[in-house]
Amino acid sequence: MDKVGRILGIGLITGLILNYYFKFIEWLTGDKVYTLLLNVDYFPILKNYSFPEWVEISFHLIVSFVLAFIYAWLWKKWNRPFLYTVISAFMIGLIIYPSTGLSDRTPEVTDGSALFWWQTGHLIYGALLAWLLQKLNNKTGG
């Protein structure tokens, strides 16, 4: 498989793992982190539509594909790419979390438990993404 296909695969794997992690956490705890992951209420046009779950998952996976390509490109530019990938994935989670205040379906912004699970998921996503990109770069030579 070529490098583009491998990066798409990395985006798919990491996106699906984050998806199912949040789905499990929401089932286990009731914290609406899966709902938040799939939420598009903060997009002016999209908030007027109700999408089936598979479409919402597809939106999330498109973001994961884009992030995989961005990180694959940055991997060559950063001097500590594994660490920076994990930290920036964590930071993305922190930046996105306040969007929960724009919907009545998602956790309250002040919900510490939901924030904990949300950030844990983004750390897992970042670490898995970094690990797979590292394997890809070791296999392809950069």
| Overall average pLDDT of the 9-18 stretch | 97
What is the C-alpha to C-alpha distance for residues 38 and 80, in angstroms, rounded to an integer?
A: 31
User: What six digits make up the tokens of 59?
Assistant: 């939106």
Domain residues of the chain, as ranges? 3-140
**What is the Cβ-side half-sphere exposure of residue 32, based on CA atoms within 13 angstroms?**
17
| Distance from C-alpha of 83 to C-alpha of 52, rounded to nearest angstrom | 36
pLDDT digits (tens, 9 = 90+) for 24-83: 999 999 999 999 999 887 777 777 788 899 999 999 999 999 999 999 999 989 889 999
Q: Give backbone dihedrals phi and psi of 68, rounded to 5 degrees, phi first.
A: -60, -40
